[in-house]
A and B are shown apart, each in its own frame.
Chain A
Amino acid sequence: MTDISQNGSTPRKHGETLMKLTARTKRRNAAERRFQAYGIAAIAAGLLMLAILVVNIVGNGYGAFTQTFVTLDVTLDAAKLDKKGQRNLDDIKKVSTFGYAPLIQKAIEAKVAALGVKTDLKPKDMAALLSKGAPAQLRDYVLEHPDAIGKTLSFRFLANSRVDGYLKGRVTRHSIENDKNISVPQLDLTDQLVKAGVIEKTFNSEFILGSDASDQRPEAAGIGTSMLGSLFMMLVVLALSLPIGVAASIFLEEFAPKAWWTDVIEVNISNLAAVPSIVFGILGLAVFINYMNQPMSAPLVGGLVLTLMTLPTIIISTRAALKAVPPSIRDAALGVGASKMQAVFHHVLPLAAPGILTGTIIGLAQALGETAPLLLIGMVGFIASNPPDSLAAGLMEPNSAMPAQIYEWAKRADPAFYERAWGGIIILLVFLVTMNTLAVILRRRFERRW
């Protein structure tokens, strides 16, 4: 501290009280407080960002869990659906969805008339309040229950995404000026129907369990099928990376001789952990798809790529867990006549198991949220519309994965998909939080201090 005489402040005179602060002390104390304030501000900024992120996700995404439905009584006119009247499935199949659309128009027209709602809209425009998939829904029902033809039944149809957005506040009368998909009179009608209870917003389990839909029908899109894709990928990752990772760690931690090639392996693993994930995607594309002719978009390939990516994480945490087991355990085992292999597999490994499990869960969570490599092996841009029906199909048939599905929705032009993307993120984060909590609980519950 040589600046005592430099900066012109008067030093304390001989005999002056220490209790009275000089200007210089005050300045230094102010600097101290400022410095602390910066630190608090930095932490506050970080936490604020986290809060904004969470509020943003929840605020934008919770809407995806509710959906607007229209309940209508549809008369399944036998004259239209089964002209021959023989209830022959092949004849009924000949009627395409275009044949079902007029039934819905009639149903909504009748409903509007029965409620006494005044509107100038044509039946066709009234039916536009419903999802474009409504006729297909009706047709699927009829094909499944051919004896329903001729009856009048109550159906619950998805409302069009614009109507849905109107009820959720995303679409307003002002915002649709240039939108040719919906008009102000249609929104007026929507208001009336909501009042009458025909249109209502309820919980939407289809978003969680259902499949993706084409970009014309955001209201029908769900994340369920891509959730299955993620599940199959995680099965592959778990089945491969856990045994390989544990074996590699046991070798490096317990057996590896001090030689140049074991050093190379060690350096290699720590560097692999820092390789950008997209590079693993390039590897997957070049080796698994291009060279080995594995199918594009298959969860098996996704799982293999993610395995290679997760291995370093699992190896690093497994080695830490093995290292935490004190040498006395090994010595005791060797002392009563166990071989080295027996000491490791019978004593060290079981004691390290909770730590290994924790590391594996964290590695899996990381793999579950990873998107970039999946872009390259074609798990994006694929409409995951049919859930797989067997284990082999789940592994080999094209599917999407949760993060890839979210990316896909974010790319689409219709803003109604953005809500889906945020909703998908909520589901993804619920999985991640659950897995990480599980890891923390495992660690707390089974961790041993030696």
Chain B
Amino acid sequence: MPTFWLVVFVFALAALGFLAGRARALHSAGGNARDLHSLPNYYGANVLLTTLVPALLVLGLWLMIQPSVVQYRVSGMIPEQAIPENSTLGLVMMDVHQVAAGLDLAVDEGALTEQEAGTIRTEFTDLRARLGELGVALGSDVRPEVLQAAQRYRAIDASGHRNMVIVVTLLALAGLGFSWQHTNKDFRARNVVEQGIYALLVLAALLAILTTIGIVLSMFFESISFFKLHSWTDFFFGGTWAPNFRGDSELSILPLLWGTLYISFIALLVAVPVGLFAAVYLSEYANGHVRAFAKPLLEILAGIPTIVYGLFALLTVGPALVSVFGNGPEGLLGVDWMSGATSVLTAGLVMGIMLIPFVSSLSDDIINAVPQTMRDGSLGLGATKSETVRQVVLPAALPGIVGAILLAASRAIGETMIVVMGAGAIAKFSLNPLESMTTITTRIVSQLTGDTDFASAETLVAFALGITLFVLTLGLNVLALYIVRKYREQYE
């Protein structure tokens, strides 16, 4: 039974249980709902929850754990000498997965019977050709031990799935039977159901923590295996980024960090003055109409997907910059400083546009939070409005504005699509904003797309980059929130 139908079955059983529980409670009270401890629906809900929740929880856990159990048991049967030179257990296991998937497909398409798929031998059949006919391309001929492992893999996987179906079904039935049995007019159904719902609410809230743990752990373990393959001193203190898929690559984060910070700096150079002046004008000068018109329009800039900005950088801003700074004598300035559309300036400018509303909205809120009495005092002393803003309001709002800028910076560092499309792919230390440079996020994308081999340092480095990025942005956020919170306390 496919998992989908199993879920449908459990839900159907639960719905049935609801009706049965409700009916049984009413029956035990002789049809008079007033004799019940709780409302009739609570008895139904009790049966529903005891049928549904344990079964689905076990199902979810099973689905999460089974792959690693199967993996462990199958990889145990691949002998050391079956792993070819220059290969690893991980690579062999990937072959096994592929062959197993191919066999699955062959059974689905009817090219092999289940029986044949379990007993087929490479000695007698050209499996690669047969799978090739079905559109499963295998990189090399199937070796006997790989085929055996694949067959074993399928067998364990199938039996695991069978056991899962049995356990989940039994659990659902047991839950149904147990709670149905306990349903009578004195059963305190509401209290039990409310406790159950409370537990579910807690579970949902804990999922947020689970996500964080998932993020940290998934990157942490892969980073550890990266640092086993590659020296950490080179990663943190080396000066060159030169991945080489034949091995022996130099993977240092420093040039990437430089590119990231440089692009973010240019973005902030655009976004901070524009955003800040816009915020000041909107909160101090603009009348209601201008505000109601301009503020939402500026905020549209924040709602535009980053892929749009990426395309804008790649196809519009980049070529426009080239026509100004590049193209030699034909260009606008007659110089040849820029060769391609991708550059630090391209990505920085476009990212700056994206960040304008971040800076302006946050600063606007903070400027509005400065008490009116401070403005009145300054104006009463004869200061002009701009003097008031510059010498009273902005200094009072400064911590909050710094917080807003830090949030924008964290956003800039983690931004992916604009730099993937607009910044280029060359890792280097350079001050020239017209050259293309690369960033942490760009490298994560390029190391993890396409054919990835989770046993090579060149792929695993992406996780080390990812965890660095995570720590960096998280640090900036915590700092920003700390500064903002500290500021708020001053006037409340």
Contacts and interface: CB of A to CB of B under 8 A. Distances in A.
B303 A365 contact: yes
A441 interface: no
Contacts of A269: 208
Contact of B306 (A56, A271, A372): A372
Nearest to A42: B277
A274 B448 contact: no
B393 to A, nearest CB: 12
B274 A46 contact: yes
Interface stretch (A72-80, A89-97, A109-117, A288-296): A288-296
A1 interface: yes
Interface stretch (B79-87, B117-125, B164-172, B471-479): B471-479
A272 B211 contact: yes
Interface residues of A, number: 90
A49 interface: yes
Contacts of A371: 305-307, 310, 416-417
Given A42-B274, A251-B202, A282-B462, A275 B310 contact: no
B445 A369 contact: no
A277 interface: yes
Given A53-B304, A291-B67, A381-B449, A274 B477 contact: yes
Interface in A17-43: 28-29, 31-32, 34-36, 38-43
Contact of B469 (A279, A368, A407): A279
Given A1-B383, A410-B314, A283 B201 contact: no
B386 A31 contact: yes
A76 B68 CA distance: 58
B382 interface: yes
A248 B208 contact: yes
Contact of A407 (B277, B307, B386): B307
A238 to B, nearest CB: 16
The dominant DSSP class at the A interface is helix
A224 B278 CA distance: 40
Top 10 closest A-B pairs, CB basis?
A276-B414, A39-B281, A369-B305, A42-B277, A247-B204, A35-B386, A286-B218, A372-B416, A251-B201, A248-B204
Contacts of B134: none
A47 B294 contact: yes
A356 to B, nearest CB: 14
Contacts of B390: 35
Interface stretch (A171-179, A201-209, A424-432): A424-432
B301 interface: yes
A440 B403 CA distance: 29
15 contacts: A46-B360, A50-B297, A50-B300, A247-B200, A247-B204, A256-B205, A274-B473, A276-B415, A277-B414, A282-B463, A372-B441, A376-B444, A380-B449, A425-B308, A432-B303
A275 to B, nearest CB: 7
A332 interface: no
A375 B282 CA distance: 38
Contacts of A311: 207-208, 211
Interface of A: 1, 28-29, 31-32, 34-36, 38-43, 45-47, 49-50, 53, 56-57, 60, 243-245, 247-248, 250-252, 255-256, 262, 264-265, 268-272, 274-283, 285-287, 290-293, 308, 311-312, 315, 339-341, 365-366, 368-372, 375-376, 378, 380-381, 392, 403, 406-407, 410, 418, 421-422, 425, 428-429, 432, 436
Interface stretch (B190-198, B232-240, B325-333): B190-198
B211 A45 contact: no
B194 A271 contact: no
Contacts of B68: 291
A369 B298 CA distance: 18
A282 B315 CA distance: 28
Contacts of B387: 28, 31-32
A371 B445 CA distance: 11
Contacts of B462: 282
A259 to B, nearest CB: 12
